[in-house]
Amino acid sequence: MTPVSGSWTSPALEGGGDAVAVWAAEQLAGLADGVDALCVATLAAGAHESVAFWRESLETGLAFANPRAFPWTLANSPTGAIAARLGVRGPTFTLVGRADALAGAFEHAREELAAGRATAVLVAALDRVPPAHARLAALVLTREDPFVDPVAGANGEAGPTASELLAEAIEPAPR
């Protein structure tokens, strides 16, 4: 269970849309083999895009708002776009918040694996930090990989929890 992490700074992020999802999918492509579910934890997916969309609508009038920008105002749009690019055909979840979102992502992954709805779940932490920066960390959980459930506690295995591995992989955003 080796996490992948990265950060990206680009003027393309200022425009919102699918830029973050495209970049994240490119970064995650090496982990995606055999993955059949995706859980994404994020601080504010869609929030920046929503503010930009409604600001433009107020300035230009709703009739002239860019309809291509609207889908990206929804929190689950980046997750859906990443899943489509990676070929993930199973369940996808977007959890928004701070530490509770990451814990929730691992809980959903654990539930999907335990119920047999997935054999490998890609768990990712993905955040856009305005104006033009994004952070990503991810790992794949499978039924064969022992891991400590960050919500329920230790399962008797030694070593760090999956959330600790993932949290360690996230690089701080540049200031």
Q: What is the pLDDT of residue 168?
A: 63
User: Where are the chain's structural domains?
Assistant: 4-46+74-169
Q: What is the pLDDT of residue 161?
A: 43
Q: Which two tokens stand for residue 163?
A: 């959330």
Inter-residue contact 94 to 75 (CB < 8 Å): yes
**pLDDT tens per residue across all 175 residues of the chain:** 566 777 777 776 666 668 888 888 988 888 888 999 999 998 877 777 888 888 889 999 988 888 888 888 888 888 999 999 999 999 999 998 876 888 889 889 989 999 999 999 999 988 876 667 778 888 888 887 755 444 433 344 434 444 455 666 544 444 4
Q: What is the pLDDT of residue 157?
A: 43
CATH of 4-46+74-169, one of 3.40.50.620, 3.40.47.10, 3.30.365.10, 3.40.640.10: 3.40.47.10
Q: Which two tokens stand for residue 98?
A: 């701070």
Q: What is the pLDDT of residue 7?
A: 75
Q: What is the pLDDT of residue 135?
A: 81
CA nearest to 32, candidates 164, 139, 134: 139
**Phi, psi at residue 152, to the nearest 5°?**
-90, -20
Q: What is the pLDDT of residue 167?
A: 61
Q: What is the pLDDT of residue 169?
A: 57
CA separation, residue 46 to residues 28, 81, 84, 109, 150 (Å): 20, 13, 18, 22, 26
Q: What is the pTM of this model?
A: 0.77
Q: Cα angle at 77 between 104 and 138, to 5 degrees?
A: 45
